[in-house]
Structure 1
Amino acid sequence: MTTYAVTGATGHLGHLVVAELLSRGVPAADVVAVVRTPDKAADLAARGVQVREGDYDRPETLPAALAGVQRLLLVSGSEPGRRVPQHAAVIEAAQAAGVGRIVYTGILNADETTNPLAGEHQATEQALRASGLPVSVLRNGWYTENYTERLEEFLQRGEIVGATGTGKVSAAPRADYAGAAATALLTDDGDVVVHELGGEAFTFAELAATISDVTGTPVAYRDLPVEEYTAELEQAGLDAGTAGFVAGIDASIAAGDLETSSDDLARLLGRPVTPLADVVRAARG
């Protein structure tokens, strides 16, 4: 039997992938949840999943975590600035453990994006290719939850503020990306497979209009030049570096870096990507 491992399995995405594998009939005993704090994965252990300690920042924990694993989902680390050494440690441990394939959650349009988060993902892709292991790269677009988790804020303010211009975001909910990751773990073949993943693209003005339609509360989008948006973020309490980083992401959206015409996500899911309005409706309750 094939043994599948998922890193970051107590995080939002990793936990969903483990659940997706189980729902597709993978025996729980053949699923390994690699987690920093095993006690936080008690619900997975109760379902029969193998819970193993594996900490990106403690490479000595990784060999035992990946022992006997044939296919591994490497969920990218959550701490910008630390991801390259963290991912390198997992890749090295996977090589030593004889893992047969790594599936990695990267960033959309990694080859050409100006997104300030992209550098670490690009470096990880290079390390994966250099490892000699078969690799599937899931170049994930933004989570729709990046916006719906701020729904109450948008409704209270009556506006969304940004510097995205008419740029579009090909977002999708985490559950859709989790379904795609499960499919890649179960079916991908070949030396290097790259999937550009995203849903139907929308502008921030369209996001505001959808929120207005679904909730019945008017929300508008107020677009600012990058410099003005940066200044407004600083006035809201962000330090200059963080404000510039957030505004830089918006600038990359304006440039089209988070938009894709690829149907890879729908194809891996075997169904249409969940529409924006449905995600907003679910968030609204």
Structure 2
Amino acid sequence: MKIAVTSASGQLGSAIVKQLTKEIGKDAVIGIARTPEKAKHLGIEIRKGDYNNRSDFDKALQGVDAVLLVSGMDKPENRIQQHRNVIEAAKTNDVKKIVYTSIIGDEEKTAFSPVVKSNRQTEKDVQESGLQWTIGRNGIYIEPDLEYIDTYVKEGEIRNCAGDGKCAYTSRPELAYAYTQMLLNDKHDGHVYNLGGKPITQAELADAINQAYNTDLAYHPVSAEAYAKDRKEALGEFMGTIIAGIYDGIKIGANNVPSDFEMAAGRHHKSTLEMIKVLQNR
């Protein structure tokens, strides 16, 4: 059996490749990357695959039994056709199964909704492909908060517009474990899984970070308008809007969803503190 992973040079793609090779060996895993050199360090066969180029995937998916389609990072309006290029090439190459990394979120009410909406369209395309399929909807990654820790410490607080909203955080290592099981076990075919941990508030997130890092952070809520202005100034219009939309979604409950992680992975999702400790030790 040969399993291909798209966006293998990215953080989620490479985490999935590493988990897969642990379970089935390097010879059974193929990485696909827009720039193959960036994925060479994974020590597996790497094939070229640019989401904008259908013919890349007609070649890259030859001899592949299952493909893990990592959602692209382009603007929402571009993603649908990019993902279709992979789905159509999978059909042409008689790939048996496709697993898609989608996202938890609201389709209508926030600035992040266009991203969620484009993912829902790809979910539909995957379901209508005629292939065996499984879809994971990823929770928000915990990693960016940990990468931002120096700023939090400098400011003495975590500041955003999520308020008391709860978020089912996850991490790339947790997702990699779940997606590996979803790829390898047919019992997951035809299922859509919410892949997140126990939903927590921003105050609870601050508590977990304080425990792990011995910090003294508090959570400080601000208005959606103030937070969007701050993020756009720091990150630019596009990314600032997206980030503000994510926290707006947390505030309205879009990320407070029941987790299907245990069904997908066959084990409990790690707690917030456990996830942070795993990432600290990497």
Q: TM-score, normalised by structure 2?
A: 0.90
73, 83, 87: which one pairs with 1:87? 83
In 1, distance between residues paired with 2:63 and 2:235?
A: 45
In 2, distance between residues paired with 1:218 and 1:275?
A: 20
Per-residue CA distance 1:136-193 (angstroms, 9 max, x = gap): 0111111111211211211121111111111111111100100100000000347622
- Residue-pair matches, total: 278
The alpha-carbon distance between structure 1 residues 215 and 44, as it changes in their structure 2 partners (threshold 3 A), is closer
| Corresponding position of 2:52 | 57
| Corresponding position of 1:275 | 271
In 2, distance between residues paired with 1:239 and 1:214?
A: 31
Q: One-letter code of the match for 1:156? A: K
In 1, distance between residues paired with 2:60 and 2:9?
A: 15
The SS at the match of 2:270 is coil
* 1:1-285 aligned within 5 A: 2-24=1-23, 26-45=24-43, 49-81=44-76, 82-108=78-104, 115-116=112-113, 117-189=115-187, 192-234=190-232, 236-239=233-236, 242-262=239-259, 264-283=260-279
In 2, distance between residues paired with 1:192 and 1:113?
A: 28
In 1, distance between residues paired with 2:241 and 2:22?
A: 42
The share of aligned pairs that are identical, in percent, is: 34
The SS at the match of 1:168 is coil
The alpha-carbon distance between structure 1 residues 164 and 129, as it changes in their structure 2 partners (threshold 3 A), is same
In 2, distance between residues paired with 1:245 and 1:44?
A: 30
Report how far residue 274 of structure 1 moved.
2.1
In 1, distance between residues paired with 2:278 and 2:189?
A: 39
The SS at the match of 1:105 is strand
In 1, distance between residues paired with 2:32 and 2:26?
A: 14
The alpha-carbon distance between structure 1 residues 40 and 240, as it changes in their structure 2 partners (threshold 3 A), is closer
In 2, distance between residues paired with 1:151 and 1:110?
A: 27
For the 8 Å contact 1:34–1:53, the answer to whether it is kept is yes
For the 8 Å contact 2:198–2:271, the answer to whether it is kept is yes
- C-alpha root-mean-square deviation of aligned residues, in Å? 2.2
For the 8 Å contact 1:7–1:14, the answer to whether it is kept is yes
For the 8 Å contact 1:148–1:279, the answer to whether it is kept is no
In 2, distance between residues paired with 1:245 and 1:13?
A: 19
Runs of 4+ in structure 1 off by over 6 angstroms are 110-113
The alpha-carbon distance between structure 1 residues 113 and 127, as it changes in their structure 2 partners (threshold 3 A), is farther
Note the residue ranges of structure 2 that are not aligned, 5 or more in a row.
none
Report how far residue 279 of structure 1 moved.
3.3
In 1, distance between residues paired with 2:250 and 2:28?
A: 40
For the 8 Å contact 1:74–1:105, the answer to whether it is kept is yes
In 2, distance between residues paired with 1:191 and 1:280?
A: 31
Note the residue ranges of structure 1 that are not aligned, 5 or more in a row.
none
The alpha-carbon distance between structure 1 residues 98 and 189, as it changes in their structure 2 partners (threshold 3 A), is farther
The SS at the match of 2:32 is strand
Report how far residue 240 of structure 1 moved.
5.1
The alpha-carbon distance between structure 1 residues 111 and 138, as it changes in their structure 2 partners (threshold 3 A), is farther
Report how far residue 194 of structure 1 moved.
0.8
Report how far residue 79 of structure 1 moved.
2.1
The SS at the match of 2:191 is strand
The alpha-carbon distance between structure 1 residues 152 and 62, as it changes in their structure 2 partners (threshold 3 A), is same
In 2, distance between residues paired with 1:248 and 1:278?
A: 27
Per-residue CA distance 1:61-99 (angstroms, 9 max, x = gap): 111100011111001112233211210111111111111
The alpha-carbon distance between structure 1 residues 158 and 125, as it changes in their structure 2 partners (threshold 3 A), is same
The SS at the match of 1:132 is coil
Q: TM-score, normalised by structure 1?
A: 0.89
In 2, distance between residues paired with 1:146 and 1:231?
A: 19
Report how far residue 252 of structure 1 moved.
0.9
